[in-house]
Amino acid sequence: RASEQNTEEKMISPEKAEEAKLKARYPNLGNKPGGSDLLRKRLQKGQKYFDSGDYNMAKAKIKNKQLPTAAPEKTEITGDHIPTPQDLPQRKTSLVTSKLAG
């Protein structure tokens, strides 16, 4: 009887085991599961931040050194990263017909 109980206690649901794995890799992950952070990130899709004043001041401050690039963290929402020309999306190519119609 006692041994059965022990086995049951040891069995964690696969979902909880995965959760433990994730928390081990990202100890800073908030205790708000699927909460505000994720939702706000979703609502902010498409937001581009660029202020030429900030950009030039940041460039002047650092002078010859490279501008810091943002760390791809899951929890980061706002951009305090000054975009560099390399970061800006490439100009989209001219519109062509869909290959489905080919």
Partner 1 sequence: MAGPGGDMQWCFSQVKGAIDDDVAEADIISTVEFNHTGELLATGDKGGRVVIFQQEIENKNPPQFRSEYNVYSTFQSHEPEFDYLKSLEIEEKINKIRWLPQKNAAQFLLSTNDKTIKLWKISERDKRPEGYNLKEEDGRYKDPNTITSLRVPVLIPMDLMVEASPRRVFANAHTYHINSISVNSDNETYLSADDLRINLWHLEITDRSFNIVDIKPANMEELTEVITAAEFHPHQCNTFVYSSSKGTIRLCDMRASALCDKHSKLFEEPEDPSNRSFFSEIISSISDVKFSHNGRYMMTRDYLSVKIWDLNMENRPVETYQVHEYLRSKLCSLYENDCIFDKFECCWNGNDSVVMTGSYNNFFRMFDRGHRRDVTLEASRENSKPMQVLKPRKVCAGGKRKKDEISVDSLDFNKKILHTAWHPQDNIIAVATTNNLYIFQDKVI
Q: For residues 83 and 97, give the distance between their C-alpha atoms in angstroms, rounded to a whole number.
A: 32
Question: Which residue's CB is nearer to partner 1, number 85 or number 89?
Answer: 89
**Cα–Cα distances in angstroms (integers) from residue 18 to residues 21, 23, 72, 83, 87, in the given order:** 5, 9, 21, 35, 33
Stretch that binds partner 1, among 1-9, 10-18, 55-63, 65-73 (CB under 8 A): 10-18
CB of 58 to partner 1, least distance (A): 17
Q: Does 70 bind partner 1 (CB under 8 A)?
A: no
Among 3, 5, 27, 46, binds partner 1 (CB under 8 A): 46
Q: For residues 56 and 74, give the distance between their C-alpha atoms in angstroms, rounded to a whole number.
A: 28
Among 1, 27, 47, 57, binds partner 1 (CB under 8 A): 47
* Amino acid type, 97: T
CB 82 within 8 A of CB 55: yes
Q: Does 23 bind partner 1 (CB under 8 A)?
A: yes
Stretch that binds partner 1, among 2-10, 56-64, 65-73, 93-101 (CB under 8 A): 93-101
Q: Does 98 bind partner 1 (CB under 8 A)?
A: yes
The residue with tokens 């609502």 is 43
